[in-house]
């Protein structure tokens, strides 16, 4: 990805998160000339994701929902996915747990595992690990991002890259019909890619409603995955995608949870 393309992605996300910003604010935030700001904004406006307004630019779509709102959706499905994911963890494993409202449920089903090391920037996963003394928790550094209840910074990526990981359990804002796996925040984009690069096996944990949805950044494709863990509301589209891509599909039965 070129520097301009990356800057455009970051600028688009910046506008989305802030709702409305001035041209001067974009100039200062991205350390570019006003002429470059105008050109970038014009390119984003042509996509339809932002629009020019008097004195600045605003988003035409809603940003990532607050964590507490996403947390309360499809709890039974997310819990079932967490239980199914835990069944893949063996004693002695080193695992990565991504930030997300589905991945955090994995912790509740690891109580009987021995000597499992958990690397995570997920604040909720850390809190849920407290009752289980046999889980070794390594909290990745960073500043708390309240939209995802996760710690994010460039230091998060640098620390993560030091470790060798057996299994990564990833979250996503959505997975498209073509197999692209997306997320909404640029800093988390880098963390997710680092986790995948350092892991022997990679599992995507999603509830069925994520299929067919997209977010700003693509952080992985089907070829990066070992398997997808989804609740029993899964549709034919995701099943066929996994079959075509030779990615194992684990369907968590909500009724058994």
CATH number at residue 209: 3.40.50.1360
- Within 13 Å and on the Cβ side, how many CA atoms surround 135? 27
Question: What pLDDT is attached to residue 62?
Answer: 45
* pTM of this prediction exceeds 0.95: no
Same domain, 46 and 143: no
- Count the Cβ atoms, other than its own, within 10 Å of residue 166: 17
CATH of the domain at 15: 1.10.10.10
Q: Are 151 and 121 in contact (CB under 8 A)?
A: yes
- Averaged pLDDT, 119-141: 94
At 38-70, the pLDDT tens digits run 999 999 888 877 888 766 887 765 445 554 555
Same domain, 137 and 243: yes
What percent of the chain is modeled with pLDDT above 90? Answer: 54
Same domain, 129 and 40: no
- Averaged pLDDT, 242-247: 96
Same domain, 110 and 171: yes
- Averaged pLDDT, 17-27: 80
What is the number of domains present in the chain? 2
Question: What pLDDT is attached to residue 216?
Answer: 72
Range of the domain at 196: 67-256
What percent of the chain is modeled with pLDDT above 70? Answer: 90
Question: What pLDDT is attached to residue 13?
Answer: 79
Same domain, 32 and 95: no
């Amino acid at each position: 990805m070129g520097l301009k393309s990356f800057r455009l992605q970051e600028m688009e996300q910046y506008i989305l998160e802030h709702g409305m910003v001035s041209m001067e604010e974009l100039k200062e935030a991205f350390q570019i000339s006003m002429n470059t700001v105008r050109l970038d904004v014009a390119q984003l406006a042509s996509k339809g994701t932002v629009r020019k307004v008097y004195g600045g630019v605003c988003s035409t779509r809603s940003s990532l929902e607050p964590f507490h709102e996403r947390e309360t959706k499809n709890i039974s499905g997310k819990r079932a996915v967490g239980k199914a994911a835990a069944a893949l963890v063996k004693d002695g494993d080193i695992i990565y747990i991504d930030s997300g409202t589905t991945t955090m449920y994995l912790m509740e089903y690891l109580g009987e595992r021995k000597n499992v090391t958990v690397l995570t920037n997920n604040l909720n996963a850390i809190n849920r690990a407290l009752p289980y003394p046999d889980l070794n928790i390594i909290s990745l550094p960073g500043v708390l991002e309240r939209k995802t209840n996760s710690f994010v910074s460039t230091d998060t990526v640098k620390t993560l890259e030091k470790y060798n990981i057996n299994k990564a359990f990833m979250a996503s804002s959505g997975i498209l019909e073509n197999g692209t796996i997306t997320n909404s925040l640029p800093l988390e984009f880098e963390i997710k890619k680092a986790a995948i690069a350092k892991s022997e096996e990679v599992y995507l944990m999603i509830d069925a409603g994520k299929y067919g949805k997209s977010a700003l950044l693509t952080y992985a494709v089907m070829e990066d995955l070992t398997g997808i863990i989804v609740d029993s509301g899964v549709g034919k589209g995701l099943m066929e995608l996994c079959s075509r891509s030779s990615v194992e599909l684990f369907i968590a039965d909500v009724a058994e949870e």
